[in-house]
Amino acid sequence: MDASGALYGVTDTSGTVFKLVRGASHVETIYTFQGGHNPSGALIADKRGDLFGTTGIGIGTAYELERSGNDYTERVLHRFVGGGGPMTGLVADHNGTLYGTTDGGIVFKLTPTGKSYAYTILHRFKIKHVIFNGLSRLVEGGDGSFYGTVEGYTGFGFVYKLTPKGSSVHTIYSFKGSTDGYNPLGDIVVDTKGVLYGTTVQGGVFGGGTIFDLTPSRSGFDEHILHSFDGLHGAGPTGLTAGPNGMLYGVTNGGGGGNGILFAFDRLTQKESTVYFFERRYAPVRPYFSPITDATGALYGVWAAPLGGSSIVYKVKP
């Protein structure tokens, strides 16, 4: 979302970047990729309004869409070869260095060097099978470290920390399965005290996934299960978004009558609540991605049909 409240996103199967202006009757396509490029993951923007993102299926790239008025020109920052392209978007530090992950198990950075970017592999996880969204999008902590999750390629999945400047990567918590939760999925949130919040798509008391936190301690990080989804009130959460007043928001792509829910978690009271049940009339469209918030606390997101088909952009005011 830009300063005017316009929304930007991508469509993977038709290969476009779109813009949705408040009050508009249609979506504006601002760029269409050619020749096997399928954009995926969240977009980010710099102060000039240039957009940065990734294409993953087919031809894997990290790209920039340079803005000139209402027109955009694509610039490929890096082309990935050998399988496993980026699927979860990029993050940028205060110097403009870009960080990302690939489904082949690579954590990478792209450092500005004049008119180009230098590609550096920071870590390569030993992943036997490439599966979509195996590695989450990175999130930056207050100390300049980056954090991310890996699904259960070995064991039940884990959370890792990338130290400043990418000097080392180490696991800070490995899930144990069952009531502890397993297969962490989607975006995590780091608060000002260094506490990490995230979700597992499976496990917990009822098997429908969990909301967890990882609290810094003398020995590293201590895990706490904050909520277990019971199916009736959602199942299969896919990440979190930080909202105002200590609230966390997310969606489940199952449970809640079959089409998932939009939920809130209050970090102050440690209580989860259902904000919205997604209607059956839109099946099989489901919410697969964490929503974003505006200054008023309104939530915006996408219900996406699996393997192509129609998708819906929604707004919910809690």
Please, which pLDDT band fits residue 132 given cuts at 50, 70 and 90? very low
Any domain includes 217: no
How many structural domains is the chain composed of?
A: 1
Q: Which pLDDT does position 166 carry in this prediction? A: 62
Residues of the domain holding 114:
1-127
How many Å apart are CA 107 and CA 90, to the nearest integer? 11
Q: Which pLDDT does position 53 carry in this prediction? A: 95
Q: Which pLDDT does position 194 carry in this prediction? A: 94
What share of the chain in percent tops pLDDT 70? 90
Q: Which pLDDT does position 133 carry in this prediction? A: 46
Please, which pLDDT band fits residue 246 given cuts at 50, 70 and 90? confident
Any domain includes 70: yes
Task: Round the CA-based radius of gyration of the chain to a whole number and report it.
Answer: 19
Query: What does pTM read for this prediction?
Result: 0.92
How many Å apart are CA 34 and CA 113, to the nearest integer? 27
Mean pLDDT of 282-310: 79
Least confident of 116-130, 208-222, 231-245: 116-130
Distances (CA, A) of 121 to 60, 89, 100, 102: 15, 16, 10, 11
User: Model confidence over 80-102: pLDDT tens digits?
Assistant: 987 668 888 999 998 899 999 98
User: Model confidence over 37-79: pLDDT tens digits?
Assistant: 788 888 999 999 999 999 987 678 999 999 998 899 999 999 9
The CATH number for 21's domain is: 2.120.10.30
Q: Answer yes or no: are the C-beta atoms of 88 and 41 closer than 8 Å.
A: yes
Q: Which pLDDT does position 272 carry in this prediction? A: 96
Any domain includes 218: no
For residue 111, give the 3-state DSSP assignment: strand
How many Å apart are CA 56 and CA 59, to the nearest integer? 6
Any domain includes 197: no
Is pLDDT of 169 > 50?
yes
Any domain includes 221: no
Least confident of 107-116, 169-178, 269-278, 300-309: 300-309
Any domain includes 153: no
Mean pLDDT of 190-203: 95
Any domain includes 252: no
Any domain includes 37: yes
